[in-house]
Structure 1
Amino acid sequence: MTPSLPTFVPSTQLPFAIDNGRLVLQDMLGVGAYGSVYRAIDTQTHQIYAVKSLNKAGLNFRQRAFQNHEAQLHAKVSDHPNIVTLHKVVEENDCLYMVLDCGMEGDLFFTITERGGFVGNTMAIKAIFGQIASAVLHCHSRGVYHRDLKPENIIMFGNSVKLVDFGLATTEPVSSEFGCGSTFYLSPECQGGFIESVKSYDSAANDVWSLGVILINLVFGRNPWKQACPRDETFAAYVQCNDFLQTILPLSTELNEIVKSAFCLNPKKRITLSELARRVQACRFFTAPEFFSEAPAMCTLAL
C-alpha cells in the first residue's frame, strides 16, 4: 500500500543552491502535497531545468523508500522523447531533488482550459494523443504503469508533450492499491469495482481508462463525468446506455465506438493501449459534422 507522506512546506528563501552550488533554484513553478517544483539554472552550462523537491525530513524508512521508488521508475523510462528526462537525482540533508527537463509553456491542462486547447483541430489532437500514447506504451514495455495520467502531468514543449510525475507509478501488472490517481481519471476498478467489489485490478487497463478521459479532454475541452462511480449521475447514465455520451457531447460515430471500448467496464475486454492509439490515428472525424456550424466556445474541463 502506498504510504502517506507529511504535507510539504516549501522553502521561501529563494534563490538557493544545491548540488555543491552548481544548481541555483530561482523561482517556484508549482507546489504539491508532498513537494514543490522550482525553475533552476545550471551555473556552469546556463541550462534551465525544473527541479522537483521532495521533503525527507521526518520520514520513516518506508516513506523514504517510496520517494526513491518514484525516482527509480522515472529513470527507468526516461529515455523516450515524450517523457520528461530525469537528468539526475541530488540528495541533500532534508530533501531529495529530481533534476528534470523544464517546459516553460505549462501543462496540457493549462493549454486546454486557458488557451482554447485543440477543439476542432483533428490533426493536433491526433498528434498530441499519439505522443501521450507512445509515452505510456514505452512505460508499459518497461514494466512501469503510471496510474496518474491526467493533463496536469503532461507538459507542453512547443508542439510536443512530455509525460511527468511517477509518484504513483507501479511495476505491478496487477495492483491492489486502490484510489491511486485523480478523481476524474480513475477507472471503476481502481476505486474497488463498480458492479461488484474487486480485490485487485489490471494496471495497464487502468491507464487505458485514464487515456480515454484525456481523449475526451482533447476533443471537447471537458470531462465525460466527475467520477466513474455509482453516485455520479452522468456515469450511471453511461452504464445504463453506453451511447449516452452522444446525447451530451457531439461525438462522431467513430469516436463514440473508440471511447466505448476505452470505457468498457470489464477491464479484460477493454481495448489495448496499442489498439486505442491505432484507432485514434485512423479516426476520420472526432465530432459530428453539425458541431462546427458555429465557432467552438472556450474549453473549460468541467461538467
Structure 2
Amino acid sequence: MNKMSLSRIQSLRVAAVLEDISHQLEIIGHSMTAQINKDQGTAPAQEKARLVKVTRDCQIVTQQMAELRLELEEKRSFSSLLQVVEKVLQKKEALENERQAVVELGRTREAVLELQQQIEDNAVKLEKLLRRRSNLREMPASRRVTVKPIVVERPTRKETPEAEKLLEEQLELLRKKLKEERRVHEESERFLQKQHKELCEVLLRWQQSTKATQREKEERLNSVCCKRTLNLDRLMEMKRKFREMERVVMEDKEEQEKLRRQREVAGFATKLQAWWRGCMVRRGLGRFRKVEEDKKSKKKKKGSKKG
C-alpha cells in the first residue's frame, strides 16, 4: 500500500476530525470579522492588522482542510497537503532570496552613491587643480615669485615648469581615476538595472502564479461547497425518509402488537367459554338442566305405560 494512502476507516475518521476543525475555524473567523467590524475606527492599526491576518489565515487553513477532506473521502490520500507544504517552503525560500537580493541591491546602491560622491569630490579637486593651473599660467612673472613666500623667498623660473609638470601629473592621475570610477559606476548601474529587471520579472511571475493558484483554489472551494450543499440536501432527504420509514415501522409494530393482543384475548375468551360450557353441561346448569329433566320425564312416562 502507498505510504500516503489510508484505509477507508482511517480516512473517514480523519475527514470527520478535519470537518470539525473546519467548523471551529469558521466560527473563529466569523468572530474575528465581527470583532473587526465592532472595533472599526477605535482599535489600533496594529491590532486591526493582526485580526485581519488571523482571519485570512483561518480562511486559508479552512480552504486547505476542505480540499484535504475531499481528497481523503475520494482518494483516501493526503498528497495535496504535502504539495501545499512544498509550495509554502518554495514561496518562503523565494521571498528569502528576494529579501537578500533587495538587501544586496541596497548595499550596491550605497556603494554606488559612495562612489558617485568620490567622483564628485575628485571632480571638485580636478576643477581646483585646473583653476590653479590656469591661474599659474595667467600669473605674470613678477607675481609668481610671491606664490609661496614662506617656503621659498625667491623662486626661480625653473621651479614654475616643475610645478606645472607636477600639476599635470596629478591632473592626469585624477583623470584616470575619474575615468575608472565612471566606468565602475556605469557597470554598477547596468548591473543594478539588470538585477532590478530580473527581480521585476520574478515578482510578476509570482503574482501571476499566485493569482492562478488563487483562482484554482477558489474554483475548487466553490466545487467543494456545492458538493457539500448537495450532500447535505441528500443527507436531509435520507434522514426524512428514515424518519418516515421508522414511523411506518413503529405503526406496523403497534398494529401487530394490537392484533396479537386481540388474538390472545379472543383465544382466552374462547377457552373460558368452553370451560364454562363444560361446567354447565357437567352440572346441568341453565338450558342443559331442562334437557336432562325432559329425558327423565320421558323415561318415567314410558315405564308407566309398560306397567
- Give yes or no for TM over 0.5: no
TM-score normalised by length of structure 1: 0.21
Which protein is richer in strand relative to its size?
1
Which protein is richer in helix relative to its size?
2
Structure of higher CA gyration radius: 2
Considering Cα pairs closer than 8 Å and 6+ residues apart, tell me whether 1 or 2 has the greater RCO. Answer: 2
